Structure 1
């Protein structure tokens, strides 16, 4: 909680603001006191289940929080901490952020700026990379991909030409076929 309060909230002033309408009808951001207990959610599920069982709980939980709206009377973010092992992770942290807080790139940049390396916090954050195969093996593996891209491009181009010159669009509620509509 101290990490969220000291680091996360200081990244962007909108993380501790709500949207209000001023006297002239314009929407403005207004700073408010953030009650972390309203924003940090730790769901409780039965203990001692298999990771596959927790996969089902996790999928259901994700479906539920995606459907729920964040109340407009509090800052528009939530953090969900799923403390149970799934088949893909020992635990999961989910940041639910309303898009008005920023675009995807700026939000990801802000969230990643909060992270540090566990082995040496003074070093920059790094992510594992895929080892590139040897040159000869790499070339052989890329031939089918190149042929697929070329084939798809030619196919799409020919279909586009055919559709625009020879084939008429199907009639739908949007395209009725009547010249006056």
Structure 2
């Protein structure tokens, strides 16, 4: 039973190490994905800015001279500036959301590590208690065997004493304790 228990503990330990390796790999992949997502958000913002710039260039008059040209350029600049502010706000919001998500993820990982430590401590305690229980069971079995042997020895001694007493009684009858009075 002891060997089977140790085999199971070794198997559980291997499974736990495999699980921890998979979890670490998953965490690394999540970090890579988070970095990629932040990169994609930055690229999207850059592309959106370029689209706005291209649109502004297309809407601007060719010569840009005269009153109408100046007004169109001014309106395009205003639209471009407004769109840039909007894009900067979107990028800032995306960065903040990413930072919040990363903080939440780190907190979850810390909680998971704390729970893992508690589980490890509980597993160690179970192992200690189980080991003590097995030792107590062995001691109990030993004490029961000793008790049974003592009972058996006592029974054998009682049987022998009874047989010896019968043999003595047959060969030497008991003396009269109160002899008849002499007159």
Bigger Rg, which one: 2
Structure showing the higher helix proportion among its residues: 2
| TM-score of the pair, normalised by structure 1 | 0.19
| TM-score of the pair, normalised by structure 2 | 0.19
Structure showing the higher strand proportion among its residues: 1
